[in-house]
Amino acid sequence: MDIRSQKEHPVILLVEDNPDDQELTIEAFRECRIANEIIIANDGEEALDYLFGTGPHAGRDITRLPQLVLLDLKLPKIDGIEVLSRIRSHPVTRLLPVVILTSSLEERDLVESYRLGANSYVRKPVDFVEFLDAARQLGLYWLVLNRAPTVAPPESGG
């Protein structure tokens, strides 16, 4: 990856196991002219390896965080709830914006996602036009309007 392009267009980490939903998300962002590079993690384990520089991503500078994580809940290996829990429990990723992007209608998934610190919970529209509008709104808010810290602040001694 070109470091300059990451500075100009920070990375979005898309954690999604369904290839159709991956393509739909990429196409929707492209249609909305969202130029950020999208890194795809096909399961929860791959997402955590990317974020924490382990496994195939060993040695990756973990202080270079994605600008946004789009996280599905129903994932193989490690589910999205556990991924979110680990993101929020690590000092480097604690403040990373995480948007749950799921087809789940389960109230417990919604409640647990917010309890663990999700920034937003968006139900995936089935229709492409609705999905395009949702992607446009997500991109506008999280990638243009929202300001997030670049790294987690140091722990205060107490």
Q: What is the mean pLDDT of residues 62-83?
A: 94
- Identify whether 48 is part of a domain: yes
Residue 153 lies in a domain: no
Residue 71 pLDDT greater than 60, yes or no: yes
Please check whether residue 158 lies inside any domain of the structure: no
CA 79 to chain centre: 14
State how many domains the chain has. 1
What is the average pLDDT across 70-84?
97
pLDDT > 90: what percent of the chain? 52
Asked whether residue 2 is assigned to any structural domain, the reply reads no
For 51, the domain range is 9-144
Indicate which CATH number applies to the domain containing 59. Answer: 3.40.50.2300
Q: What is the pLDDT of residues 110-132, one digit of tens each?
A: 999 999 999 999 888 767 777 77
According to DSSP, residue 128 is labeled H
Q: Which pLDDT tens digit goes with each residue over 80-114? A: 999 999 999 999 999 999 999 998 889 999 999 99
Q: Which residue has the higher pLDDT, 61 or 78?
A: 78
Comparison of pLDDT for 41 and 36, the residue scoring more: 41
In a domain, 149, yes or no: no
Contacts for 53 with CB less than 8 Å, ≥ 6 apart: 59, 60, 61, 62
